Chain A
């Protein structure tokens, strides 16, 4: 395993009380694998990514669990060691590319700097490699783009540059947090193709965080579905999306308008996500679940394997009986 998150719990201390953002989250990513973390707002998918990157806000506290990267617990490492791991071996691509780019430095120079630092090549060589890196992310005219400033580029172009930057080290793991959400669908499509290709060619593992089940279906080998700070279902993408076992996953798929009959109402999920400051004792989804019974409200289900590699946190079996 390249990355292994075990029973990670994170709390935020804020003015409105303590928010339990993550509760016993476990997740693993193998070498060369693309793993999707999918969930709606407040599901904890981004907090999970930020925990791995060590970018949690100051008011966040990790209350339990560990994050093992290549066998070492990142949470136990010193500041310098942590930075060494994160800077060199883990790359990141966020939703807004401008946050990752230096606004007043030419794109090529930014890339060359990173390449120089990580590969120890000469300045000239680094600049040549920078142009090459831009070509790798399918930028049409890399020499020209290398001379431009970030603000001169379109959103899709910028995101390509950020990917090139993230891949420059080159990392073993790429964490992408809603990296395509701000982009147009046709450009998103190109970026997804690019990520898949880079992963296949270089063996880079990718954790792709998204709210879009369609992206998961097309890009990811495995997926973890998160709800209210917990992983409720995880398995191969085909298993989870074709035969979803958790009522939340099922409901989420039904709520999509993609294949719905326009003459029928969509099967919406009633209610809203529970307040994370007052986490229910039982299953977090119980209040919105059509199959919930008394036991669901009393005890919290743990992830259990339904078939090899496919784990579900639900008291009910697939048919609604006891699991």
Chain B
């Protein structure tokens, strides 16, 4: 397979001593060229930390992250493959755009990290205007400031800014979580179209399973720093393997479900000890076997999960 990004045994710890927090543990991942890879999990699952390590905002404590087989991190220093090759769109377009800058200055900002010849070539007015139109804004918006726009429009500005350098890889960190449903649909459509037109590879980080299912080809599910399941999006959402994935899916309130479904986490059990499965204490189908952590194993081609049991059910 043509892997663009590879994470091997990546660890990330914050703080030290008693305050030590492990945000990401032993993460192994591969993102293929041209795909939309989803990363789903709840707050504190470590999904945003992985995104930050890919764009250079956090350095991994251990493990290797490569981009087209070249390491992204070298002795705590971020080595960008080429300025502007990897870009990010943040969740909150309110704070990711400088309130004092005009839309034009915001969008061309990433070009200032490029060599001057390339900056001139990519920063022409014609190119800027066509990009602006492509994301659904107008030329006259160039001289305005962010506060004059709605949330959806601001996110369009942020997307234009990320695309100005012609990146190959985009980290989308909850790009529609702050938007209303009707506007979210517009932005998701735009992102999907852009991916096709520009042959982009996406890492799509979200807590919203419905959005991930709609946007992504493959998905990784994270729980407390562990990747518990990786697989193809559509089959996985139909028949999740890991019990946590199943809980996550059934917790998402669905318009098509007339009552709050039963199920969910188990009552917290006593800690299973250092060797136990990371989900042991909250797993509704835990067994004695789970006191020994399962390996992250391939269950079907391209579909792996960290659970002893097939389909997460003990009786199989």
* A–B touching in complex (CB under 8 Å): yes
Chain B positions 184 through 221: 1 when the CB is less than 8 Å from some CB of chain A, otherwise 0: 11101100110000000000000101110111000000
Contact B260 A218 (CB under 8 A): yes
Output the least CB separation between B234 and chain A (Å).
Answer: 7
Given the known A-B contacts A193-B260, A213-B255, A218-B257, are A255 and B185 also in contact in the complex, defined by CB atoms under 8 Å? yes
Q: Which of B211, B234, B253, B267 contacts A189 (CB under 8 A)? A: B253
Contact A257 B210 (CB under 8 A): yes
Interface of B is mostly: helix
Contact A270 B265 (CB under 8 A): no
Residue A319 at the B interface, CB < 8 A?
no
Contact A41 B248 (CB under 8 A): no
CB contacts under 8 Å to A, within B250-281, are 250-261, 264-265, 267-268
Q: Which of A211, A258, A259, A266 contacts B180 (CB under 8 A)? A: A211
Distance A262 CA – B260 CA, assembled complex (angstroms): 26
Contact B252 A214 (CB under 8 A): yes
Chain A positions 183 through 203: 1 when the CB is less than 8 Å from some CB of chain B, otherwise 0: 011101110110010000000
Q: Which residues of B contact A62 (CB under 8 A)?
A: none
Output the least CB separation between B211 and chain A (Å).
Answer: 5
Contact A265 B189 (CB under 8 A): yes
Residue B13 at the A interface, CB < 8 A?
no
Given the known A-B contacts A184-B42, A189-B260, A189-B264, are A214 and B255 also in contact in the complex, defined by CB atoms under 8 Å? yes
Output the least CB separation between A266 and chain B (Å).
Answer: 4
Contact A272 B150 (CB under 8 A): yes
Distance A193 CA – B256 CA, assembled complex (angstroms): 17
Contact B256 A259 (CB under 8 A): yes
Residue A50 at the B interface, CB < 8 A?
no
Q: Which residues of A contact B253 (CB under 8 A)?
A: 185, 188-189, 192, 212, 214-215, 217-219
Given the known A-B contacts A186-B247, A257-B211, are A272 and B255 also in contact in the complex, defined by CB atoms under 8 Å? no
**Size range of the chain B interface in the assembly:** 35 or more
Residue A7 at the B interface, CB < 8 A?
no
Q: Which residues of B contact A40 (CB under 8 A)?
A: 180-183
Residue of A155, A212, A214, A257 with most chain B CB atoms under a 10 A cut-off: A257
Q: Which residues of B contact A255 (CB under 8 A)?
A: 181-182, 184-185
Residue B93 at the A interface, CB < 8 A?
no
Contact A185 B185 (CB under 8 A): no
Q: Which residues of A contact B180 (CB under 8 A)?
A: 40-41, 211
Given the known A-B contacts A214-B255, A217-B253, A217-B255, are A266 and B260 also in contact in the complex, defined by CB atoms under 8 Å? no
Contact A185 B182 (CB under 8 A): no
Minimal Cβ-Cβ distance residue in A for B214: A257
Distance A40 CA – B151 CA, assembled complex (angstroms): 12
Q: Which residues of B contact A129 (CB under 8 A)?
A: none
Contact A185 B181 (CB under 8 A): no
Q: Which residues of A contact B256 (CB under 8 A)?
A: 217, 258-259
Chain A positions 144 through 167: 1 when the CB is less than 8 Å from some CB of chain B, otherwise 0: 000000000001000000000000
Q: Which of A214, A237, A272 contacts B254 (CB under 8 A)? A: A214
Distance A267 CA – B182 CA, assembled complex (angstroms): 9
Contact B260 A196 (CB under 8 A): yes
Residue B9 at the A interface, CB < 8 A?
no
Contact A258 B255 (CB under 8 A): yes
Q: Which residues of B contact A105 (CB under 8 A)?
A: none
Interface of A is mostly: helix
Q: Which of B42, B184, B214, B267 contacts A262 (CB under 8 A)? A: B214
Residue B287 at the A interface, CB < 8 A?
no
CB contacts under 8 Å to A, within B207-246, are 207, 209-211, 213-215, 233-234
CB contacts under 8 Å to B, within A232-261, are 237-238, 241, 251-253, 255-260
Q: Which of B181, B186, B258, B261 contacts A256 (CB under 8 A)? A: B181
Given the known A-B contacts A190-B264, A268-B182, are A238 and B189 also in contact in the complex, defined by CB atoms under 8 Å? no
Residue A140 at the B interface, CB < 8 A?
yes
Q: Which residues of A contact B251 (CB under 8 A)?
A: 185-186, 188-189
Q: Which residues of A contact B258 (CB under 8 A)?
A: 217-218, 237-238
Chain A positions 119 through 133: 1 when the CB is less than 8 Å from some CB of chain B, otherwise 0: 000000000000000
Residue A298 at the B interface, CB < 8 A?
no
Contact B268 A258 (CB under 8 A): no
Given the known A-B contacts A252-B181, A257-B210, are A265 and B192 also in contact in the complex, defined by CB atoms under 8 Å? yes
Q: Which of B43, B181, B255, B268 contacts A211 (CB under 8 A)? A: B181
Residue of B233, B251, B257 with most chain A CB atoms under a 10 A cut-off: B251
Q: Which of A41, A185, A260 contacts B207 (CB under 8 A)? A: A185
Chain B positions 114 through 158: 1 when the CB is less than 8 Å from some CB of chain A, otherwise 0: 000000000000000000000000000000000000111100000
Chain A positions 260 through 288: 1 when the CB is less than 8 Å from some CB of chain B, otherwise 0: 10100111111010000000000000000
Chain A positions 88 through 109: 1 when the CB is less than 8 Å from some CB of chain B, otherwise 0: 0000000000000000000000
Contact A266 B185 (CB under 8 A): yes
Output the least CB separation between B15 and chain A (Å).
Answer: 18
Minimal Cβ-Cβ distance residue in B for A42: B180
5 A-B pairs with the lowest CB-CB distances in the bound complex, closest first = A214-B253, A268-B185, A257-B214, A40-B180, A269-B182
30 A-B pairs, CB-CB below 8 angstroms? A40-B180, A155-B43, A185-B253, A186-B248, A189-B251, A189-B260, A190-B265, A211-B181, A213-B181, A213-B255, A214-B252, A216-B255, A217-B253, A217-B254, A217-B258, A218-B253, A237-B258, A252-B181, A252-B182, A255-B184, A256-B185, A256-B255, A257-B185, A257-B188, A258-B254, A258-B256, A260-B214, A265-B193, A266-B214, A269-B185
